[in-house]
Structure 1
Amino acid sequence: MNTCKKWIIAGCIAFTLLAFSSCVSIKNNGIQAGGSDSMISNGKLFTAIWMQQSAEYKALCLQAFQLADLRLAGILTNQKPAKPLAIITDIDETFLDNSPYAIHQSLQGKDFDPATWNKWVEKAGADTIAGGLAFFQKAASQGVTIFYVTNRDRAGRAATLKNLQKFNFPNADDAHLLTMDKSSSKEERRQKIARDYTIALLLGDNLADFSPLFDNHPNSAARTAAVMALKEQFGKKFIILPNPNYGDWENALYNYKHGLNAAEKAAAFRRAGKRY
């Protein structure tokens, strides 16, 4: 075998080994392309990085909070409610950013997991979303009480308060933080607040943050029908923040079935997507 052929063969072997090594490296980092097992984690990596890096996401958040401020100003100017005014707000992806957790999970090829989520919550390390802190502080300075109605559970209560207090969110105390107890529905907690306050605005990233009409619809079509039934409330009393990473919109694709594996979730996404 002449020297030229030897170099060609050696080069081919080296290229093959390099390609194999790269595939293994990518797979081990949970970001391999294609395949049912990686579709969900890759998708959530994409959306979480969009939330961190895109100026458009910041603009959408600022737009939501500036609209909320405009609506609140109108209420304060034109209405004389019998009870004190309050705002009810969700926490996660409404004004606290959990994208680092989503990216951590995605790079390991994993989705949301209660055990790792609880570890993230305990860190009290979530940053604020653009516009949120300024809005709530201004509202509080105008005499409006803020209530935090979240589906974080009791175990994460102390860490959640620590996270809010770190940024000096108003009313960040036990009396104004309503965590999940027996039900994920927030309606009972909203009604409890409404007994003593006039609810000026509700803020959230998930439709169930606003009304029981949005609780546990069987599919995406039913959720859309519910939105249309309350369409006059959006941008007025309901202020919604963008969250492409998770939520009931995703659960509806799975028909609210729990315990699906990655392949089953990927199949649900493929069925849901419209094609040309």
Structure 2
Amino acid sequence: MFSIAVRTVLVSAVLLSGSFSLPALADDSGYGAKDLNEQLVMSTLWMQASAEYKALSYQAFNLAKMQFDRYSRSHTGSKKIAVVVDADETAIDNSAYQAWLIGKDFGYSSKTWAKWMDAAQAKAMPGATDFLNYVASKGAEVFYVTNRKIVGLEGTRKNLKALGFPNVDDKHLMLRTDSSNKEPRREAIAKDYDIALFMGDNLNDFSNDFRTKSLADSDAAVEKNKALFGTTFIMLPNPAYGDWEGKVYEGNWGASPAEKDQMRKSKFRIWQPAN
């Protein structure tokens, strides 16, 4: 175990060298989940308080409307048109759950997340309700492809209906059952519909091209598909959580809070003054 004094020396040394990769701390180092949750403060505050976050959400849905209209005008197929959206941080805002974790000595868990889903208190993302109702008004259909587990079905249905979203029924509300891979659900929709747009806050909301194991692979997949962003793929901002975080940990979600803190900071690109 590293003492505070030794850690201070190590931090100073690596900062001077321009790198940031510390040995992992022991689980009993005194750094716990409550400490790690403090790192949620700025991202959660930005999501809840900044007008910039709201502006980006409106921007995404304004762009989605433009692309939907463009697709509809040129559509000549016999299938109906569909729009596929994620739920969390795409149609609805769960930042209140993130805010609740701050100050607690535990992190995300399926137990507390199930209570949040049952509460049905998520707010609509700015612009989401208007856009998705516009899609429905044009005769197209909205499919909610979400990795909320089936245990959250009733709470999710209640929440979406209360917010005025269209097509909230068993056909269109596609929660996770046996796998987090959304591709089979997207393929099932594509059998009967031409999909105009995919909307999400996570790259895996768009294509299996993004089911990668490393940050570098994700970066390469974005480069490969860059022409689709803003046209077929519409991305919503989410600085709080996502599959990318697991890649920071190299898949080790079970790492201690202290180890996660170290792994997060090891990915920084750090500027150093000349003198």
* TM range, smaller chain: 0.7 to 0.9
Instruction: Please report the TM-score for the alignment, with normalisation by the length of structure 1.
Output: 0.85
Q: Give the partner amino acid of 1:151.
A: N
Q: Is the 8 A contact 2:34 2:103 kept in 1?
A: no
- Higher Rg of the two aligned structures: 1
The answer to whether 1:270 aligns with 2:261 is: no
RMSD: 1.4
Higher helix share: 1
Query: How far did 1:152 drift?
Result: 0.5
Distance (Å, rounded) in 2 between the aligned partners of 1:145 and 1:79: 15
Q: Secondary structure of the residue that 1:175 maps to in structure 2?
A: coil
Query: How far did 1:39 drift?
Result: 5.0
Q: Is the 8 A contact 2:148 2:175 kept in 1?
A: yes
Question: 1:224-239 maps to which residues of 2 (within 5 A)?
Answer: 224-239=219-234
Identity %: 41
Partner of 1:164: 160
Q: Which structure is higher in RCO with an 8 Å CA cutoff and minimum separation 6?
A: 2
Partner of 1:260: 255
Q: Is the 8 A contact 2:84 2:198 kept in 1?
A: yes
The answer to whether 1:136 aligns with 2:136 is: no
Task: Provide Cα deviations, 1:215-242, integer angstroms capped at 9, x if missing partner.
Answer: 1x22111100000111111000000000
Query: Deviating runs (4+, > 2 A) in structure 1?
Result: 34-40
Distance (Å, rounded) in 2 between the aligned partners of 1:91 and 1:107: 26
Partner of 1:91: 87
Query: How far did 1:97 drift?
Result: 0.7
Which residues of structure 1 form unaligned runs of 5+?
A: 1-33
Match of 1:43 among 19, 39, 45: 39
Query: How far did 1:122 drift?
Result: 0.5
Distance (Å, rounded) in 1 between the aligned partners of 2:77 and 2:116: 40
The answer to whether 1:205 aligns with 2:178 is: no
Q: Secondary structure of the residue that 2:192 maps to in structure 1?
A: coil
Q: Give the partner amino acid of 1:174.
A: D
Match of 1:214 among 210, 216, 226: 210
Which residues of structure 2 form unaligned runs of 5+?
A: 1-29
Paired positions, count:
242
